[in-house]
Amino acid sequence: MSFKYNFEKLEVWIIAKDLAVEVYRLTEKFPAKEKYGLISQLTRAVISVSSNIAEGNTRKSNKEKVHYIEISYGSLMEVVSILVISKELKFVEESDYDKLRTIIEELSNKLIALKNNHNSNNRVVKL
């Protein structure tokens, strides 16, 4: 399959998708009792990041695109919060945590840059 939608070509979406795959692999190590707790919340949040990037990319106006980027960023911060708690509960090893935090930092910076780019395109220049 060679056809790709525009969002699939975005570096920010690729990083978000890869983060989701890593988080799903990580949660396989969580205790079974967390299936409906931390695992469910963490996987929903991490899927929301890439999904909102994809959905926002289809919107026509920059204002709408920014809205979906903000939702994606909020979901990413939810992932951070859950990872911190999971690490403190010893469900996540330090090395896995550090690896994910590095990915999250890069993704966070790219989301902010994307948002700023769309916001700057919204500005009306007064002559």
pTM across the whole model: 0.92
Give yes or no for a contact between 69 and 56, defined as CB atoms under 8 angstroms apart.
Answer: yes
Per-residue pLDDT, 49: 98
Give yes or no for a contact between 81 and 11, defined as CB atoms under 8 angstroms apart.
Answer: no
Per-residue pLDDT, 120: 85
Per-residue pLDDT, 127: 37
Mean pLDDT calculated for residue range 28-39: 96
User: What is each CA distance from 20 to 115, 116, 126, in whole angstroms?
Assistant: 21, 24, 43
Mind listing the pLDDT tens digit for each residue in 40-88? 999 999 999 999 999 999 999 999 999 999 999 999 999 999 999 999 9
Instruction: For residue 126, name the pLDDT band (cuts at 50, 70, 90).
Output: very low
Q: Distance between CA atoms of 27 and 125, rounded to whole angstroms? A: 48
Per-residue pLDDT, 121: 74
User: What is each CA distance from 17 to 21, 31, 32, 120, 126, in whole angstroms?
Assistant: 6, 24, 24, 26, 40
